[in-house]
Structure 1
Amino acid sequence: MRRSPMPPRSAPMKANAFARGERIEAREIAKAKVEREKKHKCAVRTCRAEFVRPQPFVTWCSPECGTVLALAKIEKQRQAAGKAERKSDKEKLEKFKRRADHVADCQKAFNAWVRFRDRKEPCIDCGRRAGAGSLTGGDWDAGHYLSRGSHPHLRFDVRNVFKQLKGCNRPGGTTAASFRAGVIARIGLAAVEALEADNEPRKYSVDQLIAMTAHYKQLLKNLKAAADTAPA
């Protein structure tokens, strides 16, 4: 005996799907309503008043605060543009630098590192300490025991350069004997004699000078970071 076919159920299924869709839509509407009525804090740091956003993108509570945010955005864009322009100018200038300019850049980075390396040491020459002298210039130089003029190959030799009071590093401010005695006390007689006997020429390429400049800048950065985290 053949069974009669099942009656079609498409109508109830469609009704259930429609009802489910209505419930989801109702929840979304309710959620959007709650979100619209939710209070937010004004994005202006000096205000931070609570308000209901008229539109999702509005982050200010009043026209005055909107103006403050708009001006801040314009200023931020101006600073970003200025930074990009300075970077571009710097890159252009780098292309026109001579080797002597790269030597000067490297010397500046090296000297800054030497001054900070020796920040807790007295003057290599006279043994005095400056009261509130700056390690970025101020009362201190990075003094070369064997001068850069007579020994240019030792201008970046760590055995040859020490923090020195500006007065001692000026013509007539010191004697070779007192400077030598200070260096011997710091690194030892054998190291000083080896330094004095070192006549090996150093001829740095532009690429090497650029790399050395970056190296000494990084060394200084590392020293400062270590000093900031060191216990007092």
Structure 2
Amino acid sequence: MNLQNRSPSPKCCRNPACGKSFTPQRLGQAVCSPACALATKDVHQVKARKAIADRERREIKVRKERLKSRGDYLREAQIAFNAYIRARDQMAGHACISSGKPLDWSGNQTDAGHYRSVGAAPHLRFDERNCHAQSKQDNRFLSGNAVDYRIGLIARIGLEAVEALEADQSVRKYTIDDLKAITAQYRAKLRDLKNEAA
């Protein structure tokens, strides 16, 4: 059999917008026309640029992760925890833990207020019994409104649990791995709450 006289078999054009069947005129021809060649080149360039941008974003994320301090991880964990507390109390329909007034859930008027403050009892910063939705007025401008907070807390979780919180003087040191786990845990709990509400 003479291979030089053999005619090339029809191919499908590689331009995603075209896809026509054509007979190649030269070896390695992948598209049916110069217009399709340019279009295919543009598609490949866009894909290449996107791949480069994705790789750069991943590299930046890795570099940022390496630069994070323990304090950065602590802030992320606290943000995730506080978001969960606010969502938990909103779904339950709770009023402000200290004043008993209805909370404004629109905007940024509700805090996740700690009964024993993070400064006084850092080991209780991620204890769900110690943190409840509270108005910004009570939390920030009335220093947590501790007396009324205690009354509301007893009504919500009971005197025995409140006394256990007040007696807890344990020391907890959170490692970066602990903080990453806490962040992931509370993000997952928040997602679950939102899925239940949907």
TM-score bracket for the superposition, by shorter chain length: 0.7 to 0.9
Bigger Rg, structure 1 or 2:
1
2:86 is equivalent to residue 115 of structure 1: yes
The change in CA–CA distance for 1:131 and 1:113 in structure 2 (over 3 A counts) is: closer
> Between Structure 1 and Structure 2, how many residues are aligned?
175
Which residue, 101, 110, 127 being the options, matches 1:128?
A: 101
Higher relative contact order (CA 8 A, sep 6+): 2
2:71 is equivalent to residue 90 of structure 1: no
Structure 1 residue 128: deviation in Å? 2.2
Could you say which residue in structure 1 is the equivalent of 2:155? Answer: 185
Which residue, 138, 142, 155 being the options, matches 2:112?
A: 142
Structure 1 residue 178: deviation in Å? 0.9
Distance in 1 of aligned mates of 2:193 and 2:88: 7
Q: TM-score w.r.t. structure 1 length?
A: 0.63
Which residue, 163, 185, 188 being the options, matches 1:218?
A: 188
Matches within 5 A, 1:1-232: 54-55=20-21, 74=46, 81-119=52-90, 120-134=93-107, 138-172=108-142, 175-228=145-198
The change in CA–CA distance for 1:176 and 1:82 in structure 2 (over 3 A counts) is: same
The change in CA–CA distance for 1:161 and 1:99 in structure 2 (over 3 A counts) is: same
Q: Secondary structure at the match of 1:118?
A: helix
Q: Secondary structure at the match of 2:171?
A: coil
Structure 1 residue 54: deviation in Å? 3.1
After alignment, is 83-92 or 95-104 more displaced? 83-92
Q: TM-score w.r.t. structure 2 length?
A: 0.73
Distance in 1 of aligned mates of 2:97 and 2:143: 13
Distance in 2 of aligned mates of 1:213 and 1:196: 25
Structure 1 residue 131: deviation in Å? 4.5
RMSD in angstroms over aligned alpha carbons? 3.3
Provide the identity percentage: 43
Q: Secondary structure at the match of 1:170?
A: helix
Could you list the per-position Cα deviations for residues 47-70 of structure 1 after superposition, in whole angstroms to 9, with x for gaps in the alignment?
Answer: xxxxx9533899xxxx8xx97xx6
The change in CA–CA distance for 1:114 and 1:87 in structure 2 (over 3 A counts) is: farther
The change in CA–CA distance for 1:78 and 1:142 in structure 2 (over 3 A counts) is: farther
Distance in 1 of aligned mates of 2:60 and 2:169: 40
Structure 1 residue 127: deviation in Å? 2.0
